């Protein structure tokens, strides 16, 4: 037996812990709800969900956040895993300290103030010995005090070394979030974003989102994520989002890390999980271009498309598709209407200057008496020679 486990068993025996297993829930339901809503570990829940739950959603394990005495504040995982955990009283509100139920990962992590992994029969209480768990304490970055524990509990898969390394990595992210963004995250997570937001990806002022009156500068990757989610309101899974961000392969860990940074910058409720989707309505300038076309303001849409920006420059496959779709919609509207002003704006733009059919339509629209007629026909002839259309 490992020394850390042996020492924990000895402490459990000296305290008279019941090996048959029994937990304590020392709060009423209402008091518990109020208590955990105010606990600092609750503000970390969106980060934990974004970094872990996409991978473990159907893996038969549960992820738990506790307070500083081992009280289970939140349990996440699929329904079947949570039902199995409930059979051993591993439920929200129950206290899983070493003093209460003997040797177990969250309780032992609190007792020794470091990450631990408890496998099967190393648990002190017999009903828990079919389970394995890995846990690590979370420290307040200012005071250094332990404020809770992150734990993974499940079957054989949690006995593997990767489970402990995963827990440690996420705890490091939690403590970094608390140090550099914890206060803002908590404040924004509790706010109501009913006013929506505006996303600019073609604006000369740069990539930005205006959220509840505040302007947030965006990295190109974060702008791409928001734009893609805005155009997929039913959400995208991790792999789907990864495929739309890069055709060379972006791994799931990278996607989750970017989502975590985005939540840190904008607020936990802006991007939801499983699948990733927007928690607020975001009106992008791509949406506005579509609305301009629908409302007959084709020239306005051409002008906005011509600004370039991320929409035209991004190599993300999903954004490229959006660019191609809006460009095709605008051109269709131009060619359908055969209105001189729209044709002129289109052929003057970077996207329509090599469109021989549009130049031909412009020549027909302005008539032979207009000086622009000859210019339009000349451009048609030039494009025919350049692209071999007359051969």
Q: Are 209 and 197 in contact (CB under 8 A)?
A: yes
The token duo for 299 is 């020239």
pLDDT in tens, 33-89: 999 999 999 988 888 887 777 656 557 889 999 999 999 999 998 888 889 999 999
3-state class (DSSP) for residue 104: coil
pLDDT in tens, 150-186: 999 988 878 877 788 888 888 888 888 787 653 332 2
pTM given for the model: 0.50
> What's the whole-number average pLDDT of the chain?
83
pLDDT at 182: 38
CB-based contacts of 184, cutoff 8 Å, min separation 6: 264, 267
Cβ neighbour number for residue 387 with a 10 Å cutoff? 11
According to DSSP, the residues that pair with 146 across neighbouring strands are 139
Q: Are 17 and 100 in contact (CB under 8 A)?
A: yes
The token duo for 296 is 């007959």
pLDDT band at residue 212 using 50, 70 and 90 as cut-offs: low
CB-based contacts of 345, cutoff 8 Å, min separation 6: 298, 299, 302, 303
């Amino acid at each position: 037996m490992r020394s850390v486990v042996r020492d924990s068993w000895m402490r459990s025996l000296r305290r008279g812990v019941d090996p048959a297993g029994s937990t304590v829930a020392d709060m009423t339901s209402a008091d518990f709800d109020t208590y955990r809503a105010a606990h600092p570990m609750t503000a970390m829940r969106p980060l934990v969900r974004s970094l872990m739950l996409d991978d473990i959603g159907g893996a038969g394990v549960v992820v738990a956040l506790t307070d500083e005495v081992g009280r289970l504040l939140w349990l996440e995982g699929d329904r079947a895993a949570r039902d199995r955990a409930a059979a051993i009283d591993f439920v929200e509100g129950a206290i899983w300290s070493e003093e209460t139920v003997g040797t177990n990962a969250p309780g032992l992590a609190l007792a020794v103030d470091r990450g631990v992994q408890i496998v099967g029969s190393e648990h002190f209480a017999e009903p828990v010995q079919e389970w394995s768990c890995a846990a690590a304490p979370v420290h307040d970055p200012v005071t250094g005090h332990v404020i809770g524990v992150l734990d993974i509990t499940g079957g054989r898969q949690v006995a593997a070394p990767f489970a402990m390394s995963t827990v440690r990595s996420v705890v490091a992210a939690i403590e970094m979030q608390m140090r550099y963004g914890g206060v803002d995250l908590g404040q924004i997570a509790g706010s109501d974003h009913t006013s929506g937001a505006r996303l600019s990806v073609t604006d000369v002022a740069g990539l930005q989102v205006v959220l509840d009156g505040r302007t947030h500068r965006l990295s190109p990757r974060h702008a791409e994520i928001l734009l893609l989610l805005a155009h997929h309101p039913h959400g995208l899974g991790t792999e789907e989002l990864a495929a739309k961000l890069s055709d060379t392969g972006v791994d799931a860990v990278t996607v989750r890390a970017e989502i975590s940074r985005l939540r840190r910058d904008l607020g936990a409720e802006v991007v939801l999980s499983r699948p990733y989707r927007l928690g607020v309505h975001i009106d992008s300038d791509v949406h506005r271009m579509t609305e301009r076309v629908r409302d007959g303001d084709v020239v306005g849409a051409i002008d906005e498309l011509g600004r370039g920006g991320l929409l035209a420059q991004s190599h993300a496959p999903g954004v490229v598709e959006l660019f191609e779709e809006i460009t095709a919609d605008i051109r269709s509207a131009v060619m359908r209407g055969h209105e001189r002003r729209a044709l002129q704006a289109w052929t003057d733009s970077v996207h329509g200057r090599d469109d021989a059919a549009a130049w031909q339509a412009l020549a027909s629209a302005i008539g032979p008496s207009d000086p622009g007629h000859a210019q339009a026909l000349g451009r048609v002839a030039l494009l025919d020679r350049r692209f071999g259309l007359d051969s």
